[in-house]
């Protein structure tokens, strides 16, 4: 029996003799490489944090002690050591989440999969412990990449305020977030890593600490003071200590004994301490260790030996079409620049960076700054394109509203992974953008239905110089092109199923194929329909209101939350235009959806052709008196399943 299978919780881990821990670390890496290459998931970050996680669970008593993970995709080893070793359905329906999950385990305190937030949680938890007089320790694990986010520094500013409030901050420094960490912080940490005199001192210090028993704060202060004096002489003044935070490190994050020693020192100090651990992303899997493009940060199912995908892509993705068109636009428009928040490769800007290296800015995990900086670029006479995942624009709403829209600046936001993303779970579904952005005055929002429309609407967006524009598209491969029969105003008519259609199906972006399928199914139920793509969903095109007036019922279909989405905006525009036609809005239920594939979730919430047809037929039966209505029981086959809670 392997050591790993004997570990059902941290107590089992603490009983292992120290000499067996390297064997356990090797077993964990073998397990991760085998399991994650089968299912897909975050491979590189977890291979790099094996020894550090082992040390954390040997020094601290989870869940009594609170261990917080920022960002949560580095918590796979934590799952293994807390009794969750069935990775066969990782990130799939009814399987383990790819992030900490409160529903899975009491060891998971926060479901944190947006970066730079764990320190804020930790600050609040430590304050609560102090007021309640508990003996719990609080530990926050944060990567150097997440330290590029402003929220982390807001938290550090408050954490440093109270020197008698216990809190351990473990900086997992692998020089990368998704890609290589950028900015002044990265340079500072690099200096700490590479100062030779300091490294010699660390070697001496490690031996001294091992000889010195832990007797509390006085000894710690003495050792720490000696180290600080050496650092002042031989290395740049540590910014953490300038903030008033005690600092231990840098420590080899793959030396379990050294990490345990440092964590025990920090645990006994009685105040806020930073433990700086150096790790290697992808450790133990040579392809991941040697990869500079971070292809192994998160992987789809691959062959672990050849690293080739198990199911190769058969077509272009939405992201790749955007990336190629950006290069062309950049060639045509020397004023167009691009901004990304530590996601150059995932959002498709790598080709733009290669073609126009002087016009690309990676600001790190700092979406608020990305948007404010874009406002400055636009004020300076350029047209910035800010490319982020849709879910991450939530963090920069105030900057979109007050720094861009208020100033009527031409900034284009490209939202990748909009709508249902699926496997990454609730925090990554991009289902909020079309609701949140509806309230921004002057903002224009496009939802392309296919690759051709993505190219066309992206060019339309960057042509706007006096207002923010948004282009949003889903995750995954493109489907076939969806041609239009005609364009009325700015609205594309995609299909008419009868000479005098009764139902207007408003297909928002990637929902066009489902609506076309639904229209065909509705014919069998005795209803005729017109399918339109509004293209620009904000503001609502007057032509769409006029089309609504020609029908007996309107159904909007969007991969966005129903509350305040496109359906609500169309209904308001119809009321304002005096069009008294019944409208029903179909979209994503306003709830946090658990992880499953995109297709499974769309089916469950009724956003497939059969689901849209079923719901539309049910509405029509009530709203269209005198219509033929569903025939017999055939409509039953189109009824969507009840969404999972």
Annotated binding site for Mg(2+): 144, 174
Among residues 78, 86, 84, 83, the alpha carbon closest in space to that of 60 is found at 78
> Which residue reads 């020693």 in tokens?
261
Task: Give me the catalytic one of 227, 281, 472, 562.
Answer: 281
Q: Which alpha helices (H) appear in 16-109, and where do they start and end?
A: 21-39, 44-47, 50-59, 76-81
Sort strands 491-496 and 486-488 into parallel, antiparallel or unpaired.
antiparallel
Instruction: Return the sign of the alpha-carbon dihedral for residues 491, 474, 565, 151.
Output: negative
Q: Which two tokens stand for residue 18?
A: 């120290």
CB 281 within 8 A of CB 176: yes
- β strands within 297-429, DSSP E: 298-299, 336-340, 360-362, 383-389, 412-416
Helix (H) or strand (E) holding 471: strand 469-472
CB 116 within 8 A of CB 146: yes
Is 260 among the residues known to form the active site? no
CA–CA dist 547, 530 (Å, integer): 9
How would you list the strands of the sheet with 583-588, edge to edge?
486-488, 491-496, 529-533, 503-507, 553-561, 583-588
Task: Give me the catalytic one of 58, 79, 283, 395.
Answer: 395
CA–CA dist 555, 490 (Å, integer): 19
Q: At what angle do helices 50-59 and 256-269 cross, to 10 degrees?
A: 40
Instruction: Return the sign of the alpha-carbon dihedral for residues 20, 26, 30, 36.
Output: positive
Sort strands 412-416 and 360-362 into parallel, antiparallel or unpaired.
unpaired
CB 4 within 8 A of CB 80: yes
DSSP β-bridge partners for residue 412: 385, 469
Task: Give me the catalytic one of 51, 260, 325, 367.
Answer: 367
- Which residues does the annotation place in the binding site for thiamine diphosphate? 73, 113-115, 145-146, 174, 285, 367
CB 256 within 8 A of CB 151: no
CA–CA dist 441, 423 (Å, integer): 34
CA–CA dist 237, 517 (Å, integer): 65
Helix (H, G, I), strand (E, B) or coil at 416: strand
- The helices-and-strands tally (H runs, E runs) of the chain is 26, 20
> Which residue reads 């409030």 in tokens?
165
Is 367 among the residues known to form the active site? yes
Cα 618 to Cα 357, 502, 602, 628, 642: the distances in Å are: 54, 14, 19, 12, 16
- Which residues does the annotation place in the binding site? 73, 113-115, 144-146, 174, 285, 367
Q: SS3 for 538-557, per residue?
A: ECCCHHHHHHHHCCCEEEEE
Is 127 among the residues known to form the active site? no
Q: Which two tokens stand for residue 410?
A: 């031409």
Q: Which alpha helices (H) appear in 337-480, and where do they start and end?
A: 350-355, 367-379, 390-393, 397-398, 433-436, 451-462
Q: At what angle do helices 542-549 and 566-576 cross, to 10 degrees?
A: 70
Give catalytic residue positions: 281, 367, 395
């Amino acid at each position: 029996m392997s050591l790993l299978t004997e570990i059902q919780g941290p107590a089992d881990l603490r009983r292992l003799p120290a000499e067996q821990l390297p064997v356990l670390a090797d077993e964990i890496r073998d397990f991760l490489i085998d399991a994650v290459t089968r299912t897909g998931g975050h491979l590189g970050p977890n291979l790099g944090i094996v020894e550090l996680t082992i040390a954390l669970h040997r020094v601290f008593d989870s869940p009594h002690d609170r261990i917080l993970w920022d960002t949560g995709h580095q918590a796979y080893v934590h799952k293994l050591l807390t009794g969750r070793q069935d990775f066969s359905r990782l990130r799939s329906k009814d399987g383990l989440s790819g992030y900490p999950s409160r529903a899975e385990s009491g060891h998971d305190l926060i479901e944190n999969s947006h970066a730079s937030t764990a320190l804020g949680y930790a600050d609040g938890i430590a304050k609560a412990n102090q007021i309640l007089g508990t003996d719990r320790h609080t530990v926050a694990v944060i990567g150097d990449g997440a330290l590029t986010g402003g929220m982390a520094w807001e938290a550090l500013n408050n954490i440093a305020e109270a020197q008698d409030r216990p809190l351990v901050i473990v900086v997992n420094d692998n020089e990368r977030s998704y890609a290589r960490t950028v900015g002044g912080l990265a340079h500072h940490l690099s200096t700490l890593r590479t100062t030779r005199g300091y490294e010699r001192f660390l070697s001496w210090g490690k031996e001294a600490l091992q000889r010195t028993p832990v007797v509390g704060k006085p000894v710690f202060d003495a050792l720490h003071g000696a180290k600080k004096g050496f650092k002042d002489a031989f290395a740049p003044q540590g910014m953490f200590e300038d903030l008033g935070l005690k600092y231990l490190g840098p420590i080899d994050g793959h030396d379990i004994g050294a990490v345990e020693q440092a964590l025990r020192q920090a645990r006994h100090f009685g105040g806020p301490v930073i433990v700086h651990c150096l790790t290697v992303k992808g450790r133990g899997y040579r392809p991941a260790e040697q990869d500079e493009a971070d292809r192994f940060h998160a992987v789809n199912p691959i062959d672990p030996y050849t690293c080739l995908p198990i199911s190769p892509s058969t077509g272009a993705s939405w992201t790749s079409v955007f990336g190629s068109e950006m290069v062309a636009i950049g060639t045509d428009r020397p004023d167009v620049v691009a901004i990304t928040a530590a996601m150059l490769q995932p959002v498709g800007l790598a080709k733009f960076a290669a073609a126009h290296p002087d016009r690309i800015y990676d600001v790190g995990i700092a979406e608020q700054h990305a948007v404010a900086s874009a406002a400055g670029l636009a004020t300076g006479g350029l047209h910035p394109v800010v490319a982020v995942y849709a879910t991450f624009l939530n963090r920069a709403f105030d900057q979109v509203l007050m720094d861009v829209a208020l100033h009527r600046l031409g900034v284009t936001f490209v939202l990748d992974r909009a709508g249902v993303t699926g496997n990454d779970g609730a925090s990554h579904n991009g289902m909020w953008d079309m609701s949140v952005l509806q309230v921004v005055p002057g903002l224009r929002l496009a939802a392309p239905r296919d690759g051709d429309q993505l190219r066309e609407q992206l060019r339309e967006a960057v042509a706007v110089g006096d207002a923010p524009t948004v282009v949003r598209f889903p995750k995954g491969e493109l489907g076939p092109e969806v041609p239009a029969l005609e364009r009325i105003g700015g609205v594309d008519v995609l299909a008419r199923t009868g000479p005098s259609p009764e139902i207007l199906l408003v297909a928002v972006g990637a929902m066009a194929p489902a609506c076309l399928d639904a229209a065909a199914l509705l014919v069998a139920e005795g209803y005729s329909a017109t399918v339109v793509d509004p293209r620009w969903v904000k503001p609502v095109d007057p032509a769409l209101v006029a089309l609504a007036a020609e029908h007996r019922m309107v159904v909007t279909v969007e991969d966005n939350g129903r509350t305040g989405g496109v359906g609500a905006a169309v209904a308001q525009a119809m009321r304002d235009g005096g069009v008294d036609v019944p409208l029903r809005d179909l979209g994503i239920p306003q709830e946090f959806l658990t992880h499953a594939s995109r297709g499974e979730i769309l089916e469950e919430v009724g956003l497939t052709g059969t689901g849209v047809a079923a719901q539309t037929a049910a509405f029509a039966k009530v709203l269209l008196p005198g219509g033929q209505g569903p025939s017999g029981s055939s409509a039953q086959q189109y009824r969507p399943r009840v969404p999972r809670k």
